[in-house]
Amino acid sequence: MMRKQSIPLLVLEFLLLLQTSTADPRAQTVNITCGRQPEHNSTIFVPNFVAVMENISEQMRTSGFGMAVVGSGPDANYGLAQCYGDLSLLDCVLCYAEARTVLPQCFPFNSGRIFLDGCFMRAENYSFFGEFRGPEDGSVCGNATRMGSGFGDSVRRAVGQAVSGAPTNRGYAKAQVGTANETAYVIANCWRNLNQSSCKACLEDASKTILGCLPKSEGRALYTGCFMRYSDRDFLNREGGGGSSRGTRVVIIVSVVSSVVVLVVGVAIGHHIWRNRYIQKKRRGSNDAAKLVKTLNDSSLNFKYATLEKATESFGDSNKLGQGGFGSVYKGVLPDGREIAVKRLFFNNKHRAADFYNEVNIISSVEHKNLVRLLGCSCSGPESLLVYEFLPNKSLDRFIFDQTRGKGLNWEKRNEIIIGTAEGLVYLHENSNIRIIHRDIKSSNILLDSRLRAKIADFGLARSFQEDKSHISTAIAGTLDNQAMKNQISRVVHIGLLCTQEIASLRPTMSKALLMLTKKEEHLPAPTSPPFIDEKTMELNDTCEDPSYPLNGDDVGSVANLTHSSFYPR
């Protein structure tokens, strides 16, 4: 079956860094609700979930709405996602990417739904597409500011207009009522799979609930079949590309955002790799896990679980720094006063202590100015923890998706971040004794130090390859002024396109990409067609690899249905 392939996430981050301003994708999470029933069989459930998300992703890029079903019985996965009607397709893709990153934290439960301020997503193991009411329906009241009676009247009128208008307008309506400081802004959206009568019923119920938030200045109704919001501030985008007052932006829409699912793909591939390693080790009768755990406990890399729990105040919400693809991150302070960042892994690694320790041991020795330093780990407590150096400015996404903080990133600083990220990847790919392929480069994995210098995080959770290993998938995995600046931006976009060509051997290595970024006189060839072709066809066409890594009869294999060829990171 022909299907679109996702593009390396590094390209998306280049494009996001190129934004001078943008409409708001409203990717802030309002509420996430997970089911209570555990998944039936992870080896089936996870691939089904990945396939559903990939299918929906393709639909979202063209229509802002998607539905998909994969599998049957207890391992079936039904998915639905929709952006609200005022988002452009670009902003819709960004919002969906965030939802797709957060929802898998419901694993190992087999269902969940998430409301963002710009989009909605739900996954279940049964067909819920006809539902528009549910026991979890309700409201979230926002800002505690208490408004006057005039504002309340404006809200009621605006909500009434939106409720009456949406059912006959593909389930979407917005309204603005009032003057001066009493203006109310409202959006109402039903999911497109509902018929007109179901949409009307859902919005009527939601309107009654949301009005209960008055006299507060913000209110949201989160319903099984619809979403509604009112506010005293104009949060609405102008359809077709965002508000006109937000300035010019460089817009290139690519399918890269679908790679955000790498977090779930990583689970499936990681499970397969673990099984193979476990079987091989068992056959060899070596690698006693208990001995390695003891080694870890005696190692300088080891942190006692109790120490980290105390340092983070029992992983209190006030210390939570954010959420990554592999786990939640918390700020901690050790007894000696050192500030650290502690990651609680979503998928516990206690049962594979040997592999976990080996990975930590390897990655802790990797040092570069553009890599976050891994200080150690804890796998002897009730969950697996990783300990990193603490960086006060957190991650890049906190800047590029924030209109206020984003202003602090002028083009010069953005260019420095791009080059710093590239330098870190060059080191991982080519300059270290153990080559590491990150495979999850995105803005939330690029941290910034006190001087806003880029540091790559989470490379310790990627697959690592020793020098003598010879296999890696070449399948593609994983937004101005004066004229000179425009030329620089165009050049970076050009380089990004070269990195997304359909044949792996045509993509520049990271060292070559870095040279192109830093040497302005370096010639840039014209990019070939984008990689929207069948993966097997792409691999068959990929007959040319780096000459220092010749292909032989033993260098072609298949792992988890991924075609592999000779190892040379790009």
Alpha-carbon distance 6 to 179, whole Å? 47
- What architecture is the 286-389 domain classified under in CATH? 2-Layer Sandwich (3.30)
Flag whether pLDDT at 169 surpasses 90: yes
pLDDT at 45: 83
**pLDDT, tens digit, 9 for 90 and up, residues 180-211:** 778 999 999 999 999 999 999 999 999 999 99
Q: Domain 138-231: state its class.
A: alpha beta
| 177/554: higher pLDDT | 177
Give the model's confidence band at 177: pLDDT under 50 very low, under 70 low, under 90 confident, else very high.
Answer: very high
Burial class, 464, CB count within 10 angstroms (exposed 0-12 / middle 13-18 / buried 19+): buried
Is there a shared CATH topology between the 286-389 domain and the 397-518 domain?
no
Among residues 541, 510, 477, the alpha carbon closest in space to that of 255 is found at 477
Task: List Cβ neighbours of 447 (8 Å cut-off, separation of 6 or more).
Answer: 372, 391, 393, 394, 395, 396, 454, 455, 456, 457
Residue 320 annotated in ligand binding: no
Residue 454, Cβ density class (10 Å: 0-12 exposed, 13-18 middle, ≥19 buried):
buried
Alpha carbon distances (Å) from 355 to 205, 281, 289: 52, 11, 9
Residue 297 pLDDT > 90: no
Strands 218-222 and 226-231: what pairing? antiparallel
**Residue 112 pLDDT more than 50?**
yes
Strongest mean pLDDT among 156-160, 439-443, 459-463: 156-160
Least confidently predicted of 124-138, 381-395, 542-556:
542-556
Please give the mean pLDDT across all residues of the chain: 75
Mean pLDDT of 478-495: 72
Q: What is the pTM of this model?
A: 0.47
CA separation for the pair 187, 378 (Å, rounded): 46
> Which of 93-102, 108-117, 454-463 reaches the highest mean pLDDT?
108-117
Give the residue numbers marked as catalytic: 440
Helix (H, G, I), strand (E, B) or coil at 471: strand
The residue extents of the domains of the chain are 29-124, 138-231, 286-389, 397-518
* Radius of gyration in angstroms for the set of CA atoms belonging to the chain, rounded to a whole number: 25
pLDDT at 442 over 70: yes
Of the spans 34-43, 162-171, 347-356, which averages the highest pLDDT?
A: 162-171
Among 125-139, 279-293, 481-495, which stretch is predicted with the lowest mean pLDDT?
279-293
Q: Find out whether 454 and 446 touch, Cβ atoms under 8 Å.
A: yes
Beta-bridge partners for 69: 78
Most confident of 184-193, 251-260, 306-315, 547-556: 184-193
- Write the pLDDT tens digit of every residue in 301-316: 788 888 998 999 988 8
C-alpha 540/C-alpha 488 separation (Å) is 35
Mean pLDDT of 18-28: 63
Rounded to whole angstroms, how far apart are CA atoms 546 and 268? 29
> What local confidence, expressed as pLDDT, does residue 552 receive?
37
180 Cβ neighbours under 8 A, 6+ residues apart: none
What are the two backbone dihedrals, phi and then psi, of residue 227, each rounded to the nearest 5 degrees?
A: -135, 145
Give mean pLDDT, residues 104-117: 90
Q: What is the mean pLDDT of residues 327-355?
A: 76
Could you tell me which CATH number the domain at 397-518 has? Answer: 1.10.510.10
Where is average pLDDT lowest: 32-36, 99-103, 107-111, 477-481? 477-481
pLDDT (mean) for 357-378: 79
Give the right CATH number for 29-124 from 3.30.565.10, 3.30.450.20, 1.10.287.1400, 3.30.430.20: 3.30.430.20
> Which of residues 301 and 27 earns the better pLDDT score?
27
Query: Residue 154 above 60 pLDDT?
Result: yes
Mean pLDDT (whole number) for 520-541: 64
Q: Is the pLDDT of residue 255 over 90?
A: no
State residue 333's pLDDT score.
Answer: 94
Q: 3-class SS at 236? A: coil
The per-residue pLDDT for range 113-152, each reduced to its tens digit, is: 999 999 999 999 999 999 999 999 999 998 777 788 899 9
In the prediction, which pLDDT does 286 show?
Answer: 41
Lowest mean pLDDT among 119-128, 269-278, 544-553: 544-553
Specify the long-range contacts of residues 556-560, CB closer than 8 Å, at least 24 apart.
557/471, 559/269, 559/272, 559/273, 559/276, 559/471, 559/473, 560/268, 560/269, 560/272
Band of the pLDDT at 77, cuts 50, 70, 90? very high
H/E run at residue 188: strand 184-190
Would you say residue 323 has pLDDT above 80? no
Mean pLDDT of 272-288: 47
